[in-house]
Structure 1
Amino acid sequence: MIINSTELQNNFGKYLMLAAHEDIIITRNGTEIAKLTAVRDASTENTTMMEQVREKAQEYSSDGKKATFEEFLELQKESEERYEYIDGEIYLLASPKTAHQIAITELFGIFYNFFQGKKCTPMVAPYDIELRRSQESINMVQPDIMIICDLEEKINEQDYYKGVPSLVVEVLSNSTRRKDMIKKLDLYMSCGVNEYWIVNPENKEVTVFLFEEKNITNNTTYKNNETVQSYIFEGLSAEIRRIFRV
């Protein structure tokens, strides 16, 4: 990731957290002047979720070429496959495995019951969410689960939602690990999502991030017999044993 020195000074906490996942190159007047990078202990081999960001996980299906948003929409129209569009790159969404789908099913059931009679609505993929870093920088993603609290106000005439979910859940797979833990974390944080759950079936862990003013202000990892707790929805919780029952 490349940022200028002013952006680093204004959002140091955000980029300090992101540096645990990838190197941050700092520029001044267009010239690279420094690099913010994580300290890595070569003598230990921890397998926690946050450290797996450093693995050379297979990039989820992308040819690495930049495309316009219009080209992405045209591809979507012509294909029956599912795609996402993040920072100019088009990604094919692969078919998920059983543990991935069970985690989604369990969490959606918990969310559905919790939000009965409340304003917010849980939604499940496939469901396009359009996120803008700026007026020109448009992204299109399909989170595994999302909690939407302004559905009625943000539905357009074509019946598409054009707001920002309050809470987003992504369930990791080997092919999406790097995307979900780096690219999507930054995208959701930058575009106004308040809370992000990263669900890891391999390690049977859930990490919950709280975003405020486009920065990470808190995060907690839950595992073993613990119960995941939402930061923004009081009383919303999920037992780890129930999420990962296989």
Structure 2
Amino acid sequence: MEKPQDKVNEPFSAYGRYSYADYLSWQLEEMVELIRGKVFRQAAAPRRIHQGLTVALVTRIHGFLKGGSCKVYTAPFDVRLPVASRKHTDIDTVVQPDLCVVCDPDKLDDLGCLGAPDLIVEILSPGNNKKELQLKYDVYEASGVKEYWVIHPDERTLLIYTLEDRKYHPSRLFTLGDQVESQVLSGFVLDLDEVFGEV
């Protein structure tokens, strides 16, 4: 079971519950995420294939969105998912998606995104699968992220969760040879042979 780890001289403990106000006060060299008040460390530096996939995806999505109102961002980029209020002390979930698309400019500020992005892409890394597949799935669904993509780089697969009636509905498992369309980014088509072929 993945648990936050405590280290000497850190501003948080493994068993504490924290808010975005706490998160802003920390001076850390590594990225951390808050999921429902619990601290989760980012895994070690992403592997080369993870970085390659991020670049391939952001290049294609940025080119598609150019000139429109939707914008694409890559980690590190704070996405705050408020539940009760937008006060820093009340927000207990702050994530760093590998890639996200925000179409509502009112959700963007100097600190990142406040509210659910329209699309989030997470690329699995060794050691973070439970966080991406269970914990983040739950908060993304509850927060209203319209489309959530999970990419497994070693298996070269993509699974898309689409929000309908406040519940995620999974696509079939896409893999090499597939052309993938997004319901959120109307007209955007992703050729998985091209994307995985670049890494």
**TM-score greater than 0.5 by the shorter chain:** yes
Instruction: Measure the CA separation in 1 of the matches of 2:167 and 2:83.
Output: 14
Note if contact 1:67-1:88 (Cα within 8 Å) is conserved in structure 2.
yes
Is 2:7 aligned against 1:62? no
Question: Which residue matches 1:35?
Answer: none
Q: Indicate the structure (1 or 2) with the bigger Cα radius of gyration.
A: 1
- Equivalent positions of 1:39-50 (< 5 A) are none
Note if contact 2:145-2:163 (Cα within 8 Å) is conserved in structure 1.
yes
Match of 1:141 among 95, 98, 107: 95
Cα RMSD over matched residues? 1.9
Question: Which residue matches 1:116?
Answer: 66
Instruction: Measure the CA separation in 2 of the matches of 1:163 and 1:216.
Output: 18
Match of 2:178 among 226, 231, 235: 226
- Aligned amino acid, residue 23 of structure 2: F
- TM-score scaled by length of structure 2: 0.84
Instruction: Measure the CA separation in 2 of the matches of 1:215 and 1:234.
Output: 20
- Aligned amino acid, residue 113 of structure 1: G
> What is the SS of the residue equivalent to 2:173?
strand
Question: Which residue matches 2:8?
Answer: none
Q: Gaps (5+ residues) in structure 2?
A: 6-13
Q: Deviations over 1:133-166 (max 9, x none)?
A: 3334520001011111012x2334x554323210
Match of 2:39 among 70, 76, 90: 90
> Aligned pair count?
184
- Aligned amino acid, residue 121 of structure 2: V
Q: Deviations over 1:189-217 (max 9, x none)?
A: 10011000001101100001101232113
Instruction: Measure the CA separation in 1 of the matches of 2:189 and 2:141.
Output: 22
The alpha carbon displacement at 1:66 in A equals 3.0
Question: Which residue matches 2:130?
Answer: 178
Instruction: Measure the CA separation in 1 of the matches of 2:50 and 2:112.
Output: 26
Q: Gaps (5+ residues) in structure 1?
A: 1-57
Question: Which residue matches 2:57?
Answer: 107
Match of 1:244 among 166, 185, 196: 196
Question: Which residue matches 1:71?
Answer: 22
Instruction: Measure the CA separation in 1 of the matches of 2:29 and 2:46.
Output: 16
> What is the SS of the residue equivalent to 1:118?
coil
Instruction: Measure the CA separation in 2 of the matches of 1:139 and 1:213.
Output: 22
